Structure 1
C-alpha cells in the first residue's frame, strides 16, 4: 500500500511537470528502459544511468548512480535530473520518498515478461519522453520480430519441447533456480521451451533431489563471471546437476544476462537465439 500511494504521488507530480515542458535531463534506471530510450532516438537526453544499464555501449559512458534496488538519494540528486524513468522495483523506499520531497518527476514503467509487457514498456517510456509517435513505430517493429519468433516455435510438437532449467546462481554448490513469473520463465516459453520448475513463483534455492526430479534437458545460465564462469565440465559435475538429462548430453546454454532477461528492444532476437540453441535446425 505504501509503495502504491507513493507511486500515485509521483505520477501526479509528473503530470504537472510535463504540463510546463518536456524533460531534457533524464536519468534512466533499468537496462530495458535505457535500451528503449536509445531505440527511440533520445539517448542524447540521458545524463546518467544505473548499474544494470550496459547496452548500448554509449550508455557505459554515462555517470552511474548505482544498482536499481539500492539507490542512494545522494547519488541520484548529484546528477540533477529533471525526470527519472525506471523499471519496476527501484528502491529502497526511503530513496523514493526523498525524491518525492525533492519534486523530481518519476515514471515507473510496467513490468511484464511477454510480448505485451515489452510493448507496454515502450509505450510508457514514449509517453514519458513525449515521443508517442516514435514509440508507436518502435512497437510495430518489435511486434513484427516477436510474431516471427512465435511463428517459428509454434511448429514445434509438444513432445519435442525441451525442459529448460534457468540457474541464477550456484554459489557454494547450491542451485538458485527460476520458477514461474520471472523473466527467465518468460524467455524460455517465448523460445518454445518448457520451464522445468513450474510449482513455485520467483527464484528459490533448490535441493539436489528437487533439481534431479525436475529432469532438465537443457541448463540455461547467464554468461557472467563468478560462479557462472566455471567450465561446463566442472558445473555439470555438481551433485545437483550430474544426474540430470542435461548433464548426460552436456547441454548448457549461456547468454548475456541483459540480452536474455531484459525484455526490451532486443528480446525477439534473444528469444530466437535461444530457440535455435534449444532446437537444432530451427
Structure 2
C-alpha cells in the first residue's frame, strides 16, 4: 500500500507543482527594512539568508556587515532590487508605500509586519517573520520563551521619575508615550517624566530642568555623539536635573531602548538594574 501511495505521489508531483500546490522553498535571499524585523530574522537562526538591510538594522553585529539600502522609511528601491531578494521583510512604517508596491511589481515578495511598541505586536512580528521564512515552529518557540522570561521580571521601580532621551542625531528628543521606552517603564512600574506626550518630542533646556527626573535613560549612540557620560550630563538643561546631579544615568543599546524586540527580557533586566543603581549604569 505504501509503495502504491509513494508511486501515486511521484506521478502527481509534476501536476501539483504546476498548480502551485507544492511547498515553496524557504526564501534564500532576504532584505530587512527595519531593525526590529532584521533582529528577529537572526533570533530565528535564519541570518544566513540575509543579503541586505536598512541603516536602522544595527543588531546583531553580523547585520552591520551587509549591504545597506538606506533608511527603511525612505529606502532605495534600486538598492533593494540590486540584491535580488526573494523576500523583503518590512516594518509597517517602511516606505514610501509606492516603493513597496514597486518592489512587488518587480517580482519581490514583500511581507509587512506591525511596528507598534506592544507585547501583542511583538508576538505578531515574530510569528509573521517566522511564517515568511517558513519556520513557524521556531517562531512559536521564540514567543513562548519570551513570555516565560517576562513572567519572571516584576515591577521594581515604583516612584521613580525617569526621563528617556535620544540625541545621537545632534537634536535632543525626549521619549513620550506610545513608544518602546515608555512601554518598558510601565512594565517596571516607573513613571515616564514625559507622560502625557506622545512619541518623540524635542525639548529645551528649561523643559528638561522642569521635568526633574530622578534617573535619565539614554542610548549608546547618544553618548558617543558627545564623547562621554559626563559630557552628556553636562548639556544645558540636563545638568540642572536631580539625575545629573546624582549621576544616575542608564545607557542602553539603541535598539534595546528604542524598539521592542526579541531581546526585550534583556532590555528590561538592564533597565531594572540601572534604575535600582545609585551609580552610572552603562552598556
| Structure-1-length-normalised TM-score | 0.82
Where do residues 21-36 of structure 1 align in structure 2 (5 Å cutoff)?
A: 21-36=25-40
Higher mean C-alpha displacement, 53-62 vs 103-112: 53-62
Distance (whole Å) between structure 1 residues aligned to residue 160 and residue 222 of structure 2: 26
Distance (whole Å) between structure 2 residues aligned to residue 86 and residue 77 of structure 1: 14
RMSD of the TM alignment (CA)? 2.5
Where do residues 138-153 of structure 1 align in structure 2 (5 Å cutoff)?
A: 138-149=142-153, 151=154, 153=155
Residue ranges of structure 1 left out of the alignment (5+ in a row): 1-15
Aligned to 2:13: none
Given the alignment of the two structures, is residue 119 of structure 1 paired with residue 111 of structure 2, yes or no? no
Given the alignment of the two structures, is residue 106 of structure 1 paired with residue 104 of structure 2, yes or no? no
Shift of 1:21: 4.5
Aligned to 1:96: 100
Aligned to 2:163: 165
Aligned to 2:190: 193
Shift of 1:209: 2.9
Shift of 1:190: 2.8
Contact 1:28 1:46 in 2 (8 A): yes
**Which residue, out of 257, 260, 265, partners 2:262?**
265
Shift of 1:76: 0.6
Deviations 1:224-278 (A, max 9, x none): 1677434333333333123321122121211110233232111111111110010
**Which residue, out of 32, 43, 49, partners 1:45?**
49
Q: Report how many residues are paired.
A: 259
Change beyond 3 A, Cα 1:121–1:197: same
Distance (whole Å) between structure 2 residues aligned to residue 228 and residue 143 of structure 1: 35
Change beyond 3 A, Cα 1:171–1:124: closer
Deviations 1:173-221 (A, max 9, x none): x632111111221222234321100121111111333222221111111
Task: Name the larger-Rg structure.
Answer: 2
Deviations 1:129-156 (A, max 9, x none): 221111111111111112122x3x2xx3
3-state SS, counterpart of residue 107 of structure 2: coil
Contact 1:260 1:267 in 2 (8 A): no
**Which residue, out of 76, 89, 109, partners 2:80?**
76
Distance (whole Å) between structure 1 residues aligned to residue 43 and residue 103 of structure 2: 27
Higher mean C-alpha displacement, 100-109 vs 271-280: 100-109
Residue ranges of structure 2 left out of the alignment (5+ in a row): 1-19, 279-283
Given the alignment of the two structures, is residue 242 of structure 1 paired with residue 246 of structure 2, yes or no? no
Contact 2:27 2:133 in 1 (8 A): yes
Higher mean C-alpha displacement, 215-224 vs 34-43: 34-43
Distance (whole Å) between structure 1 residues aligned to residue 71 and residue 160 of structure 2: 34
Where do residues 49-60 of structure 1 align in structure 2 (5 Å cutoff)?
A: 49-60=53-64
Distance (whole Å) between structure 1 residues aligned to residue 22 and residue 53 of structure 2: 21
3-state SS, counterpart of residue 75 of structure 2: coil
Change beyond 3 A, Cα 1:185–1:175: same
Change beyond 3 A, Cα 1:119–1:23: same
